[in-house]
Amino acid sequence: MSKYYITTPIYYVNDVPHIGHAYTTVAADVLARHYRRRGYDVFFLTGTDEHGAKIAEAAAKSGQTPKEYVDRIVERFKEAWKLLQISNDFFIRTSDPHHEAGVAAFLERLYTSGDIYKGVYEGLYCVGCEQFKTEEDLVNGVCPFHGIAPTWYSEENYFFRLSRYQDALLKALTEPSDPNHYVVNPPSRLNEVLGKVRLGLSDLSISRASLAWGVPLPFDPSQVAYVWIDALLNYVTAIGYPDDLSMFHRYWPADLHLMAKDILWFHAILWPAMLIANGLRPPREVYAHGFFTIGGQRMSKTLGNVIAPADLVARFGADAARYLLLTDFPFGTDGDFNLDNLVARYNAELANDLGNLVNRTISMVNRYCEGLVPASGPDLPPDAELKAMATAMFSQIDTALASLEFVSAADAVHAVVSRANRYVEEMAPWKLARIDRDRLASVLYNLVETERLIAVAIWAFMPTTSERILDQLGAPGQTAASWGQIAPGTRVSSQPKPLFPRIEIGADRTR
Ligand SMILES: [Zn+2]
């Protein structure tokens, strides 16, 4: 059995979850479910990044110890993921003792191999990014991601010999035969990463002297590990590194690290270098998605337009929220969410097209066939076009999701939904009921079986809707992706239950 290990970044708990976090996490969940449905041994990891100066500051502001503070905020993330039906196999927290022990063990090895040495760091540091900045990184003297001026830092701390791995990274990125080969996507991001590696890599300060909230260095407990070093290691400590190597060998290397583009450097350069330095394989693929705006504006607390996952779920329901988030614009590019447009898409694609298709089919099976799925007789073969489209849909989805094209995957399903709706109009079962009962039986069978396959195909995006459609068709658990699974005589729901109640544009159901 093939394995598939997928991760989200671990989210920084200096703030409560918003739809930026949800966007990445839902994408990872759709992929995890997709590969589970296909029989892969999936491990899906998410979690929280809980150390660092910014957390210590936020805790002090709220009058709590860092631990009390992170224990409170982490619950908000867990609640949000439950609400959005996120099916992670494990939730890692960097304050977990097992994780902290793993960080110490990893750094000890790098210290022993000479990849970590002591030096003096002086430079500009953005507390927002928890990252040192060069003049070229700044726009008008401030961090482009946080809009704040970095502060001058000077202290004795420990450095990772990142410069030593420049050639190894270049080979790993450009030569598929290299044992450390890994892929950065979308391709535009690979060019960006290659450009940075070719410019030259400086050694990186990986510890802080004046901070208590972190993992102490095993070779100098007066310093704690730099929060990014600590955070990146979650991807291996979560699967047992360093003391449960059976689990580690089962899942490592990760098949996909997913993130927004602002933290690509850490995942595509620093992390692979740390792994290679420690004799471990880099992840197979690192994928950075774009940024999005809300109604043309950048989401920010000051503008008051931050959307919580719960707001989105209150408005659309969890399934539709998941679907709309991932299918509004291509995943690898920047985009804009317009709430009225999302409502319009909800009403058109989900309420009208998919919801009505199932609704009218259940009604007709009840009205014309006493609620029992009819047989598609030997003289009346399945509708060739519908059957071909419904079964080809699965390989189209496989191809689309292999390159994280969620929009294309949804298009493949929507094409079948549209075809099935047209089929109803063309066949006019209400006329066949009076003139050709055999033909009517065949048409209804084709519809029921097509909708079962649609339900199976949408499970990764909309798990509850998928199960509700199967239940209404009398086919719970019938998830085979091949035609002809529903037995004639199966009893469908005695009346259709609406899947997607219509939403008025502009109506605000969140308050
Ligand atoms: Zn910043």
- Summarize pLDDT for 220-266 with one digit per residue, the tens: 999 999 999 999 999 999 999 999 999 999 999 999 999 999 999 99
- Cα–ligand 1 centroid distance for 152 (angstroms): 14
- Cα–ligand 1 centroid distance for 288 (angstroms): 18
What one-letter code names the amino acid at 242?
P
Torsion of CA 131, 127, 139, 22, to 10 degrees: 80
- Cα–ligand 1 centroid distance for 149 (angstroms): 8
Q: What is the pLDDT of residue 507?
A: 57
- Cα–ligand 1 centroid distance for 150 (angstroms): 8
- Cα–ligand 1 centroid distance for 128 (angstroms): 4
Q: What is the pLDDT of residue 378?
A: 62
Q: Quickly state the pLDDT bin for 123 (edges 50, 70, 90).
A: confident
The C-alpha angle 57, 59, 64, rounded to 5 degrees, equals: 140
- Cα–ligand 1 centroid distance for 278 (angstroms): 29
**Percentage of the chain lying above the pLDDT 70 cut:** 98
Q: What is the pLDDT of residue 372?
A: 97
- Cα–ligand 1 centroid distance for 234 (angstroms): 22
The average confidence (pLDDT) of the chain is 94
Q: How far apart are alpha carbons 305 and 34 in whole angstroms?
A: 32
Identify whether the C-beta of residue 184 lies closer than 8 Å to the C-beta of residue 266: no
- The answer on pLDDT for 511 being more than 50 is no
Identify whether the C-beta of residue 181 lies closer than 8 Å to the C-beta of residue 169: no
* Nearest alpha-carbon partner for 160 in 228, 256, 73: 228
Mean pLDDT, residues 420-429 taken together: 96
Backbone angles phi, psi at 44, to 5 degrees: -115, 120
Q: What is the pLDDT of residue 464?
A: 98
Task: Determine the 3-state secondary structure of 141 from DSSP.
Answer: coil
Tallying the residues shown for the chain, one arrives at 511
- Cα–ligand 1 centroid distance for 119 (angstroms): 24
- Cα–ligand 1 centroid distance for 129 (angstroms): 4
Give Cβ neighbours of residue 262 (< 8 Å, ≥ 6 apart).
129, 145, 291
- Cα–ligand 1 centroid distance for 423 (angstroms): 54
- Cα–ligand 1 centroid distance for 219 (angstroms): 30
Question: Which residues have CB less than 5 Å away from ligand 1 (the ion)?
Answer: 126, 128-129, 143, 145-146
Give Cβ neighbours of residue 141 (< 8 Å, ≥ 6 apart).
149
Task: Determine the 3-state secondary structure of 473 from DSSP.
Answer: coil
- The answer on pLDDT for 382 being more than 80 is no
- Cα–ligand 1 centroid distance for 404 (angstroms): 28
- Cα–ligand 1 centroid distance for 282 (angstroms): 26
Q: What is the pLDDT of residue 235?
A: 98
Q: What is the pLDDT of residue 504?
A: 84
- Cα–ligand 1 centroid distance for 275 (angstroms): 25
Q: How far apart are alpha carbons 443 and 432 in whole angstroms?
A: 9
- Cα–ligand 1 centroid distance for 17 (angstroms): 19
- Cα–ligand 1 centroid distance for 148 (angstroms): 7
Q: What is the pLDDT of residues 444-502, one digit of tens each?
A: 999 999 999 999 999 999 999 999 999 999 999 999 999 999 999 999 999 999 999 99
Query: For the stretch 67-87, what's the b/e string if a residue is b when 16 or more beta carbons lie within 10 angstroms of its beta carbon?
Result: eebbeebbebbbebbebbbbb
Mean pLDDT, residues 321-339 taken together: 96
Its sign, for the CA torsion 249, 251, 256, 261, is negative
Q: Quickly state the pLDDT bin for 301 (edges 50, 70, 90).
A: confident
Domains and CATH numbers, the chain: 339-472 (1.10.730.10)
- Cα–ligand 1 centroid distance for 133 (angstroms): 9
Displacement of CA 388 from its chain's centroid (Å): 30
**C-alpha distances in Å from residue 242, one per residue of 26, 100, 162, 235, 284:** 29, 11, 22, 12, 20
- Cα–ligand 1 centroid distance for 132 (angstroms): 9
